[in-house]
Amino acid sequence: MKLSVHTDGGSRGNPGHSGFGVVILADHQKVLESSVYLGVKTNNEAEYAGLLHALTWLRDHHHQYSPTEIHLYLDSELVVNQLNGQYRVKAAHLKPLYQQSLDLLSSLSCPVTITHVGRAGNSEADLLANQAMDRRYN
């Protein structure tokens, strides 16, 4: 079984009111849709928060789906390149989030790919992230 994971985090202001959206598909069927308001965070913190939410869900539900492959799609070039080892994590406040992500990735027992996609390729997660941020104003 193939799991596709789309995450997006955003911040209105940087730092500012932030949130994330996560969509997980198991063989093209939606199994999770999540939209969470985070309070005041940076954009990169929100991106990592969405990823950590998805990775925690994957760890906790791995036995239920027994995936043979997991594909992560993020529109944060920074987070993707950090996790793929192409960028160093320079910001001290991101280092623990990065390490938590690596720890969760290593807990998964199948191959995982992490791919940068444009906003158009991540539209549902982007919409959920914006809905989370909108909750601040409602």
pLDDT digits (tens, 9 = 90+) for 103-125: 999 999 899 999 999 988 999 99
Q: Which of 104, 114, 132 lies closest to 34 in space, CA to CA?
A: 132
Structural domain range at position 33: 2-137
Give the pLDDT confidence score for residue 125 in this predicted structure: 98
Distance CA 53, CA 94 (A): 15
Q: What is the CATH number of the domain that holds 29?
A: 3.30.420.10
Residues of the chain with pLDDT under 70: 137-138
Number of domains composing the chain: 1
Give the pLDDT confidence score for residue 102 in this predicted structure: 98
